């Protein structure tokens, strides 16, 4: 078993690793239809163990380079079944000390607070462990559940980005939400 990097109330978070390829591919296959309206189009290989193995190898390299940290959450009573993903991506250092956050929760757990829990736990880890000052989320205005989850995790809306990301084959507007590290208002250089 891969050791947990951090925990929240109901979940434990594993760092991305090729050892998780089977469980990660199962997570994405199980949620393929539910995630489709909110995701960029994916190649068929994305949903395979081999495809995820390749992506997870890249995640390890990205973490070693301090560029991206992707985590997969499990519930302690089901340690082999991934129920959420959260990622701190595009880490920028220097005067910015920022990253973007993305997240997904198994559709069977929607509406139960798991999204806010995962977002909050990952943001706290990013502030505490990486020394980030700012974490940004971009969410389609119509994705009300995701917006509520980010807001519950302490993210505040900063504005609207027109035609920001190509989602499910169509350019979509996104609300820009941000959470600041209140304990480090001077930032780290």
Query: Which uninterrupted H or E stretch holds 107?
Result: none
Q: Residues 87, 90, 94, 98: what is their CA dihedral angle, to the nearest 10 degrees?
A: -50
Give all domains of the chain, ordered by start, each with its CATH number. Answer: 6-184 (3.40.630.30)
pLDDT of residue 189: 41
Q: Which two tokens stand for residue 83?
A: 């129920």
**186: Cβ contacts below 8 Å, ≥ 6 apart:** none
Question: For the segment 139-176, what is each residue's pLDDT rounded down to a tens digit?
Answer: 999 999 999 999 999 999 999 999 999 999 999 999 99
Beta strands at 69-75 and 12-15: parallel, antiparallel or unpaired:
antiparallel
Going by their DSSP bridges, the two strands 6-7 and 69-75 should be labelled as unpaired
CA dihedral 87, 65, 51, 111 (to 10 degrees): 0
> With bands split at pLDDT 50, 70 and 90, how would you rate the model's confidence at 3?
low
Q: What confidence score (pLDDT) does residue 183 get?
A: 82
């Amino acid at each position: 078993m891969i050791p947990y990097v951090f925990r929240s109330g109901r979940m434990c978070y594993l760092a991305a690793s090729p050892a998780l390829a089977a469980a990660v591919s199962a997570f994405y296959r199980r949620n393929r239809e539910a995630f489709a309206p909110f995701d960029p189009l994916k190649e068929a290989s994305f949903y395979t163990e081999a495809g995820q193995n390749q992506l997870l190898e890249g995640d390890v390299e990205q973490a070693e380079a301090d560029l991206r940290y992707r985590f997969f959450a499990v519930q302690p009573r089901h340690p082999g079944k991934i129920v959420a993903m959260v990622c701190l991506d595009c880490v920028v250092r220097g005067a910015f000390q920022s990253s973007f956050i993305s997240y997904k929760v198994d559709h069977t757990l929607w509406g139960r607070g798991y999204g806010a829990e995962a977002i909050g736990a990952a943001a706290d880890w990013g502030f505490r462990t990486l020394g980030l000052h700012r974490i940004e989320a971009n969410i389609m205005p119509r994705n009300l559940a995701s917006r509520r989850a980010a807001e519950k995790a302490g993210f505040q809306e900063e504005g609207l980005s027109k035609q920001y990301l190509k989602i499910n084959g169509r350019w979509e507007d996104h609300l820009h939400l941000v959470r600041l590290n209140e304990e480090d208002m001077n930032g780290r250089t």
